[in-house]
Chain A
Amino acid sequence: MNRLRLAAVSFLNARPITYGLERGAGDEMFDLRFDLPARCAEALASGAVDLALLPLGSYATSPEDLRIVPGIAVASRGPVRTVLLAGDVPWQDMSSIALDAASRSSVMLLKLLNREREMSPSLVAVDHDEIGTAASGTRGALIIGDAGLRLGDRYPHIYDLGREWTALTGLPFVYAVWAGRPGMVTPEHVRVLRDSLRAGLDNRAEIARGWADERGMDPAVCESYLHNNIRYRLGAEELSGAAAFLHRAHTAGLLTRPAARLRFFDDGRLEHPTCNSKLAPALPLPRSELAFPRPNTTRSVDGLLADAAAGLRLGFDDAIRLYNDAPTLDLGAAADARRRALHGDSVVTYIIDRNVNYTNVCVTRCKFCNFYRPPGHAEGYTLSKEILAAKLQETVDLGGVQILLQGGLNPDLPLAFYEDLFRWMKANFPLAIHGLSPEEIRFIAEKENMSLRGVLERLVAAGLDSVPGGGAEVLDDDVRRAISPLKCSTDTWLEVMRQAHALGLRTTATMVFGFGETPAQVFGHLEHLRALQDETAGFTAFICWPFQAEGTRLKLKDDTTAMRYLRLFALSRLYLDNFPNLQVSWPTMGPDVGQVALRFGGNDFGSAMIEENVVSQAGAVFKLSAGDIERYVRTAGFEPRRRNMRYELLPA
């Protein structure tokens, strides 16, 4: 194999990324050199290198169809300290701004922020070496790199453009990514690049010391910069930030081509949100503690929708405002734009799996549930292995790839029951186990007097593949107390998911609405999910549906009209900017509304072979075969593809 030629920017913030490579990791694979950002772009364009740590602006303006290495970026959320606008006068009084051509992204960022302030100072190019002293009078200067760290308070007016961006959008700014031509980078390359970064992150103090010594700088400043200002993860939040930047730059006419899509090299393992819904791998990095409230201005509904459609993070109050006031089709169009940005305009996925409710014995007595029987009841059951075997075999025969295994909280079933069941299933059937909602896991932990983590570890060892997001209903303790007083609290539900994600399990998240909850409670639910996803990136998909009242003990009217569902669904797509997939709920809404929801942000049609006791006993009667699903997906204008639980496409 030829060695891959790499060019990386010669800035301090790139050093953690190249740390391992500089120390010989993957030597037989890579050949590394350093340069200024703009020159890295040139080297890639001329073919002098194969992969470059490239400013995002250069990625977007490249005439070539480049791919990004997933998971790695130079980004900041809030102050970055190395992209500064400095001057003797305040920003609004600057008549011109000096800049060097070192980083196209920083220049574009400056232009965008100028526009936002409705300013158009003239931009004057100066030499890289002169930039530190270029500001005087009404001329400001854009100062990037080390010069920024050294700037101190040399000027009375200093603006951190990273901070400005986050204040404007609520999102991180992505400065640079590894980019190259398609086909150049293999999953093995990606692995080594990530290892190199991981080593760099562990040795930030050493990197800072080395850098400071060579340049006569303060090592503490350098180290704090690497720890507190720069983040290296390219996760869903960063991707939203990157997409927002490209979108704004295009709208502002700074990018002549339509906003470039973010496309990725295959890393062979994990899926990434923007590329067939693949999930970005979450590197274990500390989240910046800085909170940036969005400027407190009253935005128009149209403006909010445009921002949300562009991938900007939607605030809690703004979401409620949209829920109350936005026209339905405008909500749909914004969510549709987000779906398209995340998934392209061709594929809608579905899975063939089967829902098996292994027991209906339950001590929890939720008021909306007409599935359970209390212990000792004549109609209580726990499925025998014979019955299970028949169901599982049938699933395999029908092309199923997974079992969704959920049941009541049956006090007779110890952890050993589940371990035995999982091992037996794994030994006999080629099916993934998507099983045990947080409530069941918590119940087992209580029964066995074990930690959540301990139970999860044992279940994983026995064969558990992923955890379904059931039992969330509305994650608001007032609502929970009213409808399911014995069920786990919001915090417990989230904690089970956090622990599962920490063990590398992927999970889904659900919401059942229509219990009389307020919009604030609905968006509180989504906020809990979004915050946890920021932390763990472990959720694959979100699914919501209205509570089906018929035959349950809750005396509520069915909230099953299509309109609230479609509006909430579209808003979920917009609010959950870090969730890769949204699944439509045709079993409760009917296939026609489910299909329409594909234009309100949905990119997954759910499961073809449904045996959903909990819902079907409350009157949802729709049944679709794989053929039906494909027809609904096709007539909505998409190509249906089968997937597994990780949302990886199965061979067509």
Chain B
Amino acid sequence: MTLSPIRDKVRAGEPLTFEDGVALYRHANLLEVGALANDVRERLHGDRTYFNRNFHINATNVCVASCMFCSFARLKEGDAGAYTMTHDQAWAKLQERVDAGDPVTEIHIVNGLHDGLPFDYYTDLLAGLKRIKPDIHLKAFTAVEIFYYHQHYGLSVEEILRRLRAAGLDSLPGGGAEIFAPRVRKKICDDKCTADQWLDVHRTAHRMGLRSNCTMLYGTIETVEERVDHMLRLRALQEETAGFQTFIPLAFHPDNNALMKLPAPTGVEDLRTYAVARLLLHNIPHLKAYWIMLGVKTAQTALWFGANDLDGTVQEEKIYHMAGADTPQTLTSDEIVRVITEAGRTPVERDTLYNVVAEGEALRSAKPFRRPVRRSLEIVS
């Protein structure tokens, strides 16, 4: 197929249609889609490529839901591998960082849907973290969790968000969206809130002035059409609220879960999904290549297929690693800077809301890729 009609629309800044999205997936040459997505990326961000310093807290893995792709959750306390952190344990994770002088700026907190914890558990958790480091950004609770709290504690979504915010919540992560199509949801995550409920939580959050991210889980049993539909529903909400900052495609990982027979998506499929996302989601500013899940090499390559963010230095990631991700659990900021620089891009350290924390000289600890200098061969015998 020829890309020209789509290319013309992209150049003119017109939104692509559902059919365009499907055609980009099914027919277009990978490198052409990539190059077009790269044009958009460079128009929006030039060479700038963001990362942040963050770490994860997964406070509990006890979850009433049984999503097919989840290797993290345990049904009840006491099951093998089930855990719930005490507040002190969770707070200690931040305290250690602060004591070590680690300039972390964000904590990413997502948890199982625990039916035996009081709501205070969450508000106290946040408040305690803020006590330790008042300027830490708390990006916490997926829309699925928020909706569950609404049902479980009998409070409106708005009220839940209001109380969490009062305790220290700064923004919402984008997880739990999976795939919006009911056919797929029913099969792989029947216990989760519906697409409309998920979108509604974000709508409410945006209305209250909270920013959030959004995701899509790809590579299970969904069709290409269902992926495109998913992205277009995110785009429609963004049209209404402009509250999403970043879209993060998440590749399904097949180990240790009920979908083990499915193979994981391959590199070429990953890159195409990134490129298509960049082209369809013209109104969502950032596209994040989550290296924890893609692997550093593919994530680096994605920086030429539309992605402009590599996520963070991430430590103690549990969800993907319990599903068999064999990526390192942490990259130092030096390593991230090097990965970005060697891709021929410009690294920028950001905070959660994309304010610049450091760039240029402050980050220049890796040798530039475009002008390779001869490294001296240090040889130890």
Binds B, one of A62-70, A204-212, A269-277, A548-556: A548-556
Whether B183 sits at the interface, judged by CB under 8 Å, is no
Whether A636 sits at the interface, judged by CB under 8 Å, is yes
Given known contacts A328-B304, A561-B339, A637-B30, is B267 in contact with A593 (CB within 8 Å)?
yes
B298 nearest in chain A by CB position: A592
Q: Is the CB of B342 within 8 A of A564?
A: yes
A559 nearest in chain B by CB position: B342
Given known contacts A562-B301, A593-B297, is B377 in contact with A515 (CB within 8 Å)?
yes
Q: Could you mark each residue 608-652 of chain A with 1 if its beta carbon is under 8 Å from any beta carbon of chain B, else 0? A: 000000000000000000000001100111000000000000000
Given known contacts A595-B267, A636-B268, is B35 in contact with A482 (CB within 8 Å)?
no
Whole-angstrom distance between the Cβ of A401 and the nearest chain B Cβ: 26
Given known contacts A561-B296, A564-B342, A595-B266, is B379 in contact with A519 (CB within 8 Å)?
no
Number of interface residues of B (CB under 8 A): 38
B residues less than 8 Å from A330 (CB atoms)? 35
Q: Is the CB of A637 within 8 A of B31?
A: no
Q: Is the CB of B342 within 8 A of A599?
A: no
Q: Is the CB of A329 within 8 A of B35?
A: yes
Q: Is the CB of A637 within 8 A of B339?
A: no
Interface size grouping (class) on chain A = 35 or more
Q: Could you mark each residue 570-612 of chain A with 1 if its beta carbon is under 8 Å from any beta carbon of chain B, else 0? A: 0000000000000000000111111110110000000000000
A residues less than 8 Å from B30 (CB atoms)? 599, 636-637
B343 nearest in chain A by CB position: A563
Whether A332 sits at the interface, judged by CB under 8 Å, is yes
Whether A367 sits at the interface, judged by CB under 8 Å, is yes
Given known contacts A563-B301, A596-B268, A632-B266, is B379 in contact with A482 (CB within 8 Å)?
yes
Question: In the assembly, what is the distance between CA of A563 and CA of B372, in Å?
Answer: 13
Please classify the interface of chain A as helix (H, G, I), strand (E, B), loop, or mixed, using the class held by over half of its residues: helix
Q: Is the CB of A637 within 8 A of B268?
A: yes
B residues less than 8 Å from A589 (CB atoms)? 297
Q: Is the CB of A592 within 8 A of B381?
A: no
A330 nearest in chain B by CB position: B35
Question: In the assembly, what is the distance between CA of A517 and CA of B378, in Å?
Answer: 13
Q: Is the CB of A596 within 8 A of B301?
A: yes
Whole-angstrom distance between the Cβ of A32 and the nearest chain B Cβ: 46
Question: In the assembly, what is the distance between CA of A591 and CA of B266, in Å?
Answer: 8
A residues less than 8 Å from B296 (CB atoms)? 561
B residues less than 8 Å from A564 (CB atoms)? 342, 369
Question: In the assembly, what is the distance between CA of A50 and CA of B338, in Å?
Answer: 62
Whole-angstrom distance between the Cβ of A589 and the nearest chain B Cβ: 7
Whether A516 sits at the interface, judged by CB under 8 Å, is yes
Q: Could you mark each residue 354-366 of chain B with 1 if its beta carbon is under 8 Å from any beta carbon of chain A, else 0? A: 0000000000000
Q: Is the CB of A333 within 8 A of B301?
A: no
Whole-angstrom distance between the Cβ of A630 and the nearest chain B Cβ: 11
B residues less than 8 Å from A593 (CB atoms)? 267, 297-298, 301
Q: Could you mark each residue 101-136 of chain B with 1 if its beta carbon is under 8 Å from any beta carbon of chain A, else 0? A: 000000000000000000000000000000000000
- Excluding A328-B304, A516-B377, A555-B379, 12 further A-B contacts by CB distance (< 8 Å) are A367-B379, A554-B379, A556-B375, A561-B297, A564-B369, A591-B266, A592-B266, A595-B266, A596-B271, A599-B31, A632-B266, A636-B266
Q: Closest 7 interchain pairs by CB?
A: A592-B267, A562-B297, A516-B375, A636-B268, A635-B266, A563-B343, A482-B377
Residues of A within 8 A of B (CB): 324-325, 327-330, 332-333, 336, 367, 482-483, 515-519, 553-556, 560-564, 566, 589-596, 598-599, 631-632, 635-637
Residues of B within 8 A of A (CB): 30-32, 34-35, 38, 263, 265-271, 295-298, 300-301, 304, 338-339, 342-344, 369-372, 374-381
Please list 29 pairs of residues, one from A and one from B, whose beta carbons are closer than 8 Å in the complex, sorted by A's number: A324-B371, A328-B344, A329-B38, A329-B304, A332-B34, A333-B35, A482-B377, A482-B379, A515-B377, A516-B374, A516-B376, A518-B374, A553-B379, A554-B380, A555-B378, A561-B342, A561-B343, A562-B297, A563-B304, A563-B343, A591-B266, A591-B267, A593-B267, A595-B267, A596-B267, A596-B271, A596-B298, A596-B301, A598-B268
